Amino acid sequence: TVDPRWEEVDRYLVDRLIPPDAARDGALAASGSAGLPPIAVAPTHGKLLMLLAQGMGARRILEIGTLGGYSTLWLARALPAGGRLVTIEADPRHAAVARGSFARAGLAGIIDLREGRALDVLPTLRGEGPFDFVFIDADKPSNPDYVAHALTLARPGTLIVLDNVVRRGAVTDPAGDEAVQGVRRALDLVAAEPRLDATVIQTVGEKGWDGFALIRVVG
| Interface size with ligand SAM, residues (CB under 6 A) | 18
Residue 212 found at the interface with ligand SAM (CB under 6 A): no
CB nearer to ligand SAM: pick between 98 and 198: 98
CB of 72 to ligand SAM, least distance (A): 7
**Nearest distance from residue 219's CB to ligand SAM, in Å?**
28
Q: Which is nearer to ligand SAM, 138 or 151 (CB)?
A: 138
Question: From residue 48 to residue 67, what is the string marking binding to ligand SAM with x (rule CB under 6 A)?
Answer: -----------------x-x
Q: Which is nearer to ligand SAM, 30 or 40 (CB)?
A: 40
Nearer to ligand SAM by C-beta: 39 or 200?
A: 39
Give the nearest distance from C-beta 189 to ligand SAM in angstroms. Answer: 18
Please say which residue, 138 or 171, places its beta carbon nearer to ligand SAM. Answer: 138
Contact range with ligand SAM by CB under 6 A, out of 7-15, 138-146, 149-157, 202-210: 138-146
Footprint of ligand SAM on 74-133 (CB under 6 A) = 88-91, 94, 117-118
Give DSSP secondary structure letters for the chain: ---HHHHHHHHHHHHHH----HHHHHHHHHHHHTT--S-SPPHHHHHHHHHHHHHTT-SEEEEE--TTSHHHHHHHTTPPTT-EEEEEE--HHHHHHHHHHHHHTT-TTTEEEEES-HHHHGGGGGGG--EEEEEE-S-GGGHHHHHHHHHHTEEEEEEEEEE--SGGGGGG-TT--HHHHHHHHHHHHHHH-TTEEEEEEEE-STT-SEEEEEEEE--
Question: Rule CB under 6 A: which residues touch ligand SAM?
Answer: 39-41, 65, 67, 70-71, 88-91, 94, 117-118, 137-139, 142
